[in-house]
Copies of this chain bind each other. A is one copy, B any other.
């Protein structure tokens, strides 16, 4: 019961965060192609953030699926993750509106970093609350490795964005691709159930 509600609330928040970004895609007041073309940085940052949030949703889904016990600690660690995720529309809009200038990309990378850390903390709390669940432990080990790697790359992307924003962008998109590859391990573990 508790687990269902945790999922439902998280799904709700992530669904709203994803779609609230659409509000930033303001329709231009002219109907010529030129005014649509000018929106490309807003569109591009929307795509990146949509993908990132989609990945968080997918992995969150896989993660919560494997746990058996939900404690207060997990609720708060989850809320903490949702807090940082909720700032993504802001960072996305700032980046899009200012055509990927260094400051905005660095901020985006920093926020992505914080989201990664919050996910990492959630992983730790879940591990501690489910000591007996061996399958979960095996799955978590993989996620820990991937999560740690992401945070390191995001951290590197912060100074990189001051050399050239495109380098930081490339790093952020690389992480997205790494996560997009579905975690076969979790799926296999679930199917063995």
Copies of the polypeptide in the assembly: 4
Inter-chain contact B8/A103, CB cutoff 8 Å: no
Partner of A22 from B7, B29, B50, B90 at Cβ < 8 Å: B90
A32 → chain B closest CB, angstroms: 7
Least CB distance, A92 to chain B, in whole angstroms: 8
Chain B residue nearest in CB terms to A92:
B27
- Complex CA distance for A94 and B25, rounded to whole angstroms: 10
A5 touching B7, Cβ below 8 Å: yes
Which residues of chain A have a CB within 8 Å of any CB of chain B?
Answer: 1-2, 5, 7-9, 11-20, 22-33, 36, 47, 50, 54, 57-58, 61, 65, 71-73, 75-76, 79, 82-83, 86-87, 89-90, 93-94, 96-98, 101-104, 107, 180, 182, 187
| 28 A/B residue pairs, CB under 8 Å, sorted by A | A1-B65, A2-B61, A5-B61, A9-B57, A16-B16, A17-B19, A18-B82, A19-B20, A20-B20, A20-B22, A22-B86, A22-B90, A23-B23, A24-B27, A25-B90, A27-B93, A27-B94, A29-B97, A30-B98, A31-B94, A31-B98, A32-B103, A36-B103, A54-B79, A58-B79, A72-B182, A73-B182, A76-B182
